[in-house]
Amino acid sequence: MTASYTAKDVTLMRQAIAQARLCTPTPTAFNVGALITDPHGQILSTGYSRQFPGNTHAEQCALQTLLTTTSSIPDYKDLVMYTTMEPCSERLSGNKPCVERILEAGIGSVVVGVKEPDNFVKCTGVQMLKEKGVRVVVIGEEVEEECRKLNAHLDHE
């Protein structure tokens, strides 16, 4: 069964897209934005690629911000992560993949703008999250063009 998305999901994804626009483009990485909300859509933290030192990814930055600014959340299973691109399942840099970070945090739902293209690795993030019981929604077409434009710097055609 495929989970469907709502108008609220699209609105929040557009806010994640705004986060991705804060990225400085680099030829070796995607520009991605992420945010984490409570079950009602209240934004608890945001992040974007390379926001923090160490080749950080958007999901990693949003989780790091959440962990350092929010102490009153007893359980992360009710939280939702919005990310403009499928969370990475492999990092060429040797850093921990975002899928592992999401699973370790216990985030219960992930809403994805678009699947990760095969520019750098063959990503299986959506599949891995679903296999571990995380609810995953890929919005796709409604935000695809906006999400892909974030990474026009990687088009080699």
Q: Catalytic positions, please?
A: 59
Distance CA 38, CA 154 (A): 33
Which secondary structure element, helix H or strand E, spans residue 150, and what is its range? none
Longest Cα–Cα distance of the chain, Å, equals: 48
- DSSP secondary structure string, 40-101? T--EEEEEETTSSTTT--HHHHHHHHHHHH----S-GGG-EEEEEE---S--TTSSPPHHHH
